[in-house]
């Protein structure tokens, strides 16, 4: 992690602020150290005031070391939060009060009321013209515009946002570069994407994940055991001392110090930093996670469902050809297609109008007598009714079902045209005019760049990729082959997508889903890891637990790596922490108790200078190891593409053995240095 002096200064300052007991109590293990620091300080003060004979350099040093232990733990968390805070500062600059043009309805666009962005409410309509900032989050409901989203994504290339399709979401604080759009506000002031993003990167809304809570309970249990151990030790030494008629050589201060050394303070101090750092690494990948739980789940994901249009492909399907059946003029098909698309405000519908205009100069106006049937992902059709005259266009199988139900003839040739388009990866839309199938519209979409090799990488990581689409099986097969996914499901309805995820989850898989459309929202809400494309609709973004600002279908690779790395780092440092505490037993117990139990001398392999220097060295080592491991907690342990069990075995070996050996060396070294100074 890149750090500068301002970030370090801020972290040092925050380390002291975090000494607030309300903050401390949230981390039980460190709270014990905190209480210990207070207790030893009071013991020292009691000696100083003459109430006891504890006014010693030893007590004072232990007290200070315990305070430093708390500060070091605070520092680990503060420095992990630092990057997010810096990012939040720059995001706040993008969030200012913006003047907005509020309108009553699309029809009365001319009458605008100028209001401040903070006065906008959910459902309000605003007109945003070229050069203006978008005042709040919403969906484009009329028009299309190119938008500079660099304030949020850091990406300078403008993006297109348009009404009707799956690319309608706009974020407050971004700038319209060309054209004008009508936006329907979807969020109350202060609850927008930018606000959420700021809260997220700042860690303000970070909640402990279930895994973190479970680990903390385990650490707390371990700590309670050590409290009992230390109390028992005191009992024994008191008893033995009385037997031998000597004063108990073990003071309360020493017992407290011993307790802190034995408690799992290393992982206790670094736990929250590890989580925040994972979140922050994700931010660097331009992914915004709404929960820490999602990042952890990402580490174990083994199935990825992707929707096709807008996720694997660019999502702006364009009409490129009108293919009439025999006996129908191409112009006739183009005209019917135009009429059926007059009110079809999807990118597909608009592109039909565009193509008819280019090829045949066909331009028609909406008529009050026309009744339009809007496109839906359920019916897969759209159209127009005009008295007894009607036109439908839609997915081949949907139109075919409609035709059969109404006993209309289905020209054989239609199937051939449909198949030809579908095999090329295009989307065929069949056009039906009254009792007559006129032909097929060829919609073309382009696969996003560089996805093939990335899907190959996912396979190596053990993740199965499945494309699910509302499109027909042939188109789906063509695109699936070109993109290189493992499997696909075609003609999926929103319910179908949802059912597929539930099915995999029931079989014990952890499922990730990437999508952009309103028709993906139910599935996204069900998936364990749900990545919404930033280009997608508000509905998809709301339903997901992550947003990919780059809208890349293969971003899951990085997300999974970061998730695995987070889990591995936590595991490794927990192993290290517990091994390192156990080792401290052998380092200090013999030195402490040999005066009363001479038999313990055989265990005294470290030959520390005195029992006091043994305790001081152990407490100092205990504090320093936290600082020493901060970089590892922030960077994460190195991730390699190995099978999970091999990786686990390797980590246990490295961090378990490391945890056992390090304290012996560390404490011995410190003891030698202390001895040099105090003789
Ligand atoms: N404007 C439209 N009018 C009529 N039919 C359409 C229109 N847009 C799409 N279709 C048809 O409906 C089908 C389903 O569309 P839907 O939006 O549910 O899924 P999709 O966009 O094809 O795929 P994905 O689920 O991968 O985004 C399309 O494949 C197409 O055949
Ligand atoms: K410890
Ligand atoms: Mg889609």
Q: Is residue 71 part of a domain?
A: yes
Most ligand 1 atoms within 8 A of CB, residue of 166, 347, 351, 469 to mutate: 469
Say whether 287 sits in a helix, a strand or coil: strand
Residue 469 Cβ contacting ligand 1 at under 6 Å: yes
Instruction: Return the residue matching tokens 């006891």.
Output: 52
Strand intervals (E) in 79-180: 99-103, 112-116, 125-128, 138-142, 144-148, 159-162, 169-170, 175-178
CA 341 to chain centre: 39
Kindly give, in sequence order, each residue whose CB lies less than 8 Å from that of residue 94, ignoring residues fewer than 6 positions away: 151, 152, 173, 194
> Using 50, 70 and 90 to split pLDDT, how confident is the model at 204?
low
Which two three-digit tokens encode residue 182? 């009508």
What is the per-residue pLDDT for 647?
A: 78
Q: Is residue 194 part of a domain?
A: no
Residue 373 reports pLDDT greater than 70: yes
Strongest mean pLDDT among 29-33, 54-58, 165-169: 29-33
Whether residue 277 is found in the same domain as residue 306: no
Candidate list 307, 345, 471, 548, residue with the active-site label? 307
Within 13 Å, how many C-alpha atoms sit on residue 389's CB side? 6
Question: 309 CA to middle of ligand 1, Å?
Answer: 8
Q: Which of 517, 549, 581 is the last residue of a domain?
A: 549
Spatial strand order of the sheet with 487-489 comes to 287-289, 546-548, 529-533, 511-515, 303-307, 464-468, 487-489
Give the Cα separation of 384 and 163 in Å (integer).
Answer: 19
Whether residue 466 is found in the same domain as residue 505: yes
Which two three-digit tokens encode residue 49? 């005031």
Q: Is residue 556 part of a domain?
A: no
> Using 50, 70 and 90 to split pLDDT, how confident is the model at 553?
confident
pLDDT digits (tens, 9 = 90+) for 295-304: 999 988 999 9
**Residues flagged as binding site for ATP:** 344, 348, 375-382, 393
Whether residue 107 is found in the same domain as residue 162: yes
Kindly give, in sequence order, each residue whose CB lies less than 8 Å from that of residue 357, ignoring residues fewer than 6 positions away: 363
Greater confidence (31 vs 165) lies with 31
Q: What CATH number corresponds to the domain at position 459?
A: 3.40.50.1000
> What burial class does residue 303 get, using C-beta atoms within 10 Å of its C-beta: 0-12 exposed, 13-18 middle, 19+ buried?
buried
pLDDT digits (tens, 9 = 90+) for 92-136: 776 677 889 999 988 888 888 999 988 899 999 999 999 999 998
Q: Are strands 303-307 and 511-515 parallel, antiparallel or unpaired?
A: parallel
Which two three-digit tokens encode residue 173? 């604080």
Angle at 649 between CA 295 and CA 576, to 5 degrees: 75
Mean pLDDT, range 413-422, rounded to an integer: 94
Whether residue 639 is found in the same domain as residue 582: yes
Q: Give the closest residue (by CA) to ligand 1 atom 8.
A: 348
What is the per-residue pLDDT for 1?
A: 47
Residue 433 Cβ contacting ligand 1 at under 6 Å: no
Greater confidence (54 vs 523) lies with 523
> Using 50, 70 and 90 to split pLDDT, how confident is the model at 424?
very high
Residue 580 Cβ contacting ligand 1 at under 6 Å: no
Interface confidence (ipTM) of the complex: 0.94
> Using 50, 70 and 90 to split pLDDT, how confident is the model at 629?
very high
What is the per-residue pLDDT for 411?
A: 92
Q: Are strands 464-468 and 303-307 parallel, antiparallel or unpaired?
A: parallel
Whether residue 325 is found in the same domain as residue 428: yes
Q: Is residue 289 part of a domain?
A: no
Whether residue 533 is found in the same domain as residue 617: no
Q: Give the closest residue (by CA) to ligand 1 atom 5.
A: 394
Residue 593 reports pLDDT greater than 90: no
Greater confidence (365 vs 431) lies with 431
Give the Cα separation of 328 and 322 in Å (integer).
Answer: 11
Q: What CATH number corresponds to the domain at position 154?
A: 2.70.150.10
What is the per-residue pLDDT for 69?
A: 97
Residue 599 reports pLDDT greater than 60: yes
What is the per-residue pLDDT for 128?
A: 95
Q: Is residue 92 part of a domain?
A: no
Strongest mean pLDDT among 121-135, 145-159, 603-617, 642-656: 121-135
Residue 122: count of CB within 10 angstroms of its CB: 14
Please identify, by atom number, the ligand 1 atom nearest to the C-alpha of residue 377. Answer: 18
Average pLDDT score, the chain = 88
Q: Which of 342, 335, 334 is nearest to 367 (CA)?
A: 342
What is the per-residue pLDDT for 94?
A: 67
Whether residue 181 is found in the same domain as residue 150: yes
Whether residue 260 is found in the same domain as residue 403: no
Mean pLDDT, range 273-298, rounded to an integer: 88
Whether residue 431 is found in the same domain as residue 466: no
Residue 427 Cβ contacting ligand 1 at under 6 Å: yes
Percent share of the chain, pLDDT over 70: 97
User: Which segment of 258-267, 306-315, 600-609 scores lowest on mean pLDDT?
Assistant: 600-609
Give the Cα separation of 465 and 497 in Å (integer).
Answer: 14
Give the Cα separation of 85 and 13 in Å (integer).
Answer: 14
Kindly give, in sequence order, each residue whose CB lies less than 8 Å from that of residue 367, ignoring residues fewer than 6 positions away: 386
Residue 598 reports pLDDT greater than 70: yes
Residue 309 reports pLDDT greater than 60: yes
Whether residue 435 is found in the same domain as residue 323: yes
Q: How many domains does the chain have?
A: 4
User: Which segment of 26-30, 266-270, 569-573, 606-610 scores lowest on mean pLDDT?
Assistant: 606-610
Q: Which of 16, 108, 97, 85 is nearest to 283 (CA)?
A: 85
Mean pLDDT, range 204-218, rounded to an integer: 83
Question: 376 CA to middle of ligand 3, Å?
Answer: 12
Whether residue 453 is found in the same domain as residue 436: no
Say whether 432 sits in a helix, a strand or coil: strand
Give the Cα separation of 353 and 364 in Å (integer).
Answer: 9
Beta partners for 289? 546
Most ligand 1 atoms within 8 A of CB, residue of 341, 394, 491 to mutate: 394
Instruction: Return the residue matching tokens 């992902």.
Output: 377
**Which residues lie at CB < 5 A from ion ligand 2?**
265, 581, 622
Residue 265 Cβ contacting ligand 1 at under 6 Å: no
Would you call 307 a catalytic residue per the annotation? Answer: yes
Residue 453 reports pLDDT greater than 90: no
> Using 50, 70 and 90 to split pLDDT, how confident is the model at 159?
confident
Residue 518 Cβ contacting ligand 1 at under 6 Å: no
Angle at 566 between CA 561 and CA 568, to 5 degrees: 95
Whether residue 536 is found in the same domain as residue 603: no
Which 8-state DSSP code applies to residue 309? I
Residue 437 reports pLDDT greater than 80: yes
Question: 520 CA to middle of ligand 3, Å?
Answer: 7
Most ligand 1 atoms within 8 A of CB, residue of 427, 492, 523, 553 to mutate: 427
> Using 50, 70 and 90 to split pLDDT, how confident is the model at 54?
low
> What burial class does residue 369 get, using C-beta atoms within 10 Å of its C-beta: 0-12 exposed, 13-18 middle, 19+ buried?
exposed
Mean pLDDT, range 609-626, rounded to an integer: 90
Residue 665 reports pLDDT greater than 70: yes
Residue 600 reports pLDDT greater than 80: no
Q: Which of 387, 406, 441 is the last residue of a domain?
A: 441
**Residues flagged as binding site:** 344, 348, 375-382, 393, 516, 520
Residue 27 Cβ contacting ligand 1 at under 6 Å: no
Question: 513 CA to middle of ligand 3, Å?
Answer: 12
Residue 345 Cβ contacting ligand 1 at under 6 Å: no
Q: Is residue 495 part of a domain?
A: yes
What is the per-residue pLDDT for 572?
A: 93
Question: 459 CA to middle of ligand 3, Å?
Answer: 23
Instruction: Tell me the C-alpha to C-alpha distance, in Å, between residue 161 and each of 10, 394, 542, 648.
Output: 39, 24, 18, 46
Which two three-digit tokens encode residue 210? 């279930």
Number of the ligand closest to the Cα of 378? 1
Question: 473 CA to middle of ligand 1, Å?
Answer: 13
> Using 50, 70 and 90 to split pLDDT, how confident is the model at 428?
very high
Domain encompassing residue 482:
302-312+448-549
Q: Is residue 554 part of a domain?
A: no
**Which residues lie at CB < 5 A from ion ligand 3?**
166, 307, 309-310, 516-517
Give the Cα separation of 505 and 508 in Å (integer).
Answer: 5
**Residues flagged as binding site for Mg(2+):** 516, 520
What is the per-residue pLDDT for 414?
A: 95
Q: Which of 395, 412, 441 is the last residue of a domain?
A: 441
The pTM for the full model equals 0.82
Greater confidence (634 vs 310) lies with 634
Mean pLDDT, range 8-31, rounded to an integer: 94
């Amino acid at each position: 992690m890149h750090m500068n002096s301002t970030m370090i200064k801020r972290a040092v300052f925050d380390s002291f602020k975090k000494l607030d007991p309300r903050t401390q109590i949230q981390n039980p293990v460190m709270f014990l150290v905190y209480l210990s620091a207070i207790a030893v300080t009071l013991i020292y003060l009691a000696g100083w005031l003459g109430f006891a004979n504890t006014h010693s350099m030893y007590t004072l040093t232990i007290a200070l070391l315990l305070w430093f232990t708390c500060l070091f733990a605070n520092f680990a968390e503060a420095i992990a939060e630092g990057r997010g805070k810096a990012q939040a500062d720059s995001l706040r600059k993008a969030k200012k009060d913006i003047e907005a043009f509020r309108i009553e309805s699309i029809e009365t666009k001319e009458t605008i009321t100028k209001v401040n962005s903070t006065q906008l409410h959910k459902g309000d309509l605003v007109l945003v013209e070229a050069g203006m900032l978008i005042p709040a989050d919403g969906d484009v409901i009329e028009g299309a515009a190119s938008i500079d989203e660099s304030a949020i994504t850091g990406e300078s290339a403008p993006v297109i946002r348009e009404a009707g399709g799956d690319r309608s979401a706009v974020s407050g604080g971004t700038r319209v570069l060309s054209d004008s759009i009508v936006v329907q506000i979807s969020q109350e002031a202060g609850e927008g994407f930018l606000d959420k993003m700021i809260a997220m990167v700042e860690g303000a809304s970070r909640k402990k994940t279930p895994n973190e809570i479970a680990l903390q309970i385990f650490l707390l249990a371990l700590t309670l055991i050590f409290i009992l151990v230390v109390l028992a030790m005191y009992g024994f030494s008191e008893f033995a001392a009385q037997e031998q008629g000597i004063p108990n050589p073990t003071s309360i201060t020493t017992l407290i110090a011993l307790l802190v050394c034995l408690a799992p303070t290393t992982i206790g101090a670094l736990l929250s930093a590890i989580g925040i750092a994972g979140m922050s690494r994700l931010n660097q990948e331009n992914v915004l996670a709404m929960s820490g739980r999602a990042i952890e789940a990402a580490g174990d994901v083994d199935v990825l469902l992707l929707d096709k249009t807008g996720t694997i492909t660019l999502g702006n399907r364009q009409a490129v050809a009108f293919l009439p059946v025999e006996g129908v003029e191409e112009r006739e098909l183009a005209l019917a297609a135009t009429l059926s698309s007059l009110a079809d405000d999807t990118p597909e519908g608009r592109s039909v109008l565009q193509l008819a205009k280019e090829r045949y100069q066909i331009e028609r106006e909406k008529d009050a007598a026309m009744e339009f049937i809007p496109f839906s992902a359920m019916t897969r059709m759209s159209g127009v009714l005009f008295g007894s005259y009607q036109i439908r266009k839609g997915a081949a199988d949907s139109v075919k079902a409609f035709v059969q139900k109404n006993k209309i003839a289905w020209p054989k040739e239609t199937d051939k045209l449909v198949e030809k388009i579908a095999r090329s990866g295009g989307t065929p839309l069949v056009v039906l005019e009254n009792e007559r199938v006129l032909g097929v519209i060829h919609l073309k979409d382009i696969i996003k760049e560089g996805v093939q090799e990335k899907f190959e990488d996912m396979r190596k990581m053990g993740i199965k990729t499945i494309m699910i689409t509302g499109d027909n099986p042939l188109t789906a097969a063509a695109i699936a082959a070109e993109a290189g996914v493992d499997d696909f499901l075609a003609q999926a309805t929103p319910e179908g997508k949802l059912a597929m995820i539930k099915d995999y989850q029931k079989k014990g898989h952890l499922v990730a889903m990437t999508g952009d459309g309103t028709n993906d929202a139910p599935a996204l809400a069900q998936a364990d890891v749900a990545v919404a494309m930033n280009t997608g609709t508000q509905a998809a973004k709301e339903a997901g637990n992550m947003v990919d600002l780059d809208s890349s279908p293969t971003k899951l690779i990085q997300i999974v790596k970061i998730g695995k790395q987070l889990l591995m780092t936590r595991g490794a440092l927990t192993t290290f922490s517990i091994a390192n505490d156990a080792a401290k037993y052998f380092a200090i117990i013999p030195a402490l108790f040999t005066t009363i139990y001479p038999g313990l001398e055989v265990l005294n392999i470290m030959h520390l200078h005195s029992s006091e220097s043994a305790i001081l060295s152990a407490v100092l080592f205990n504090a320093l190891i936290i600082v020493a491991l901060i970089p590892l907690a922030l960077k994460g342990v190195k991730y390699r593409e190995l099978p999970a069990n091999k990786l686990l075995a390797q980590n246990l070996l490295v961090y378990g053995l490391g945890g056992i050996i390090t304290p012996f060396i560390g404490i011995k070294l410190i003891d030698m240095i202390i001895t040099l100074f105090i003789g």
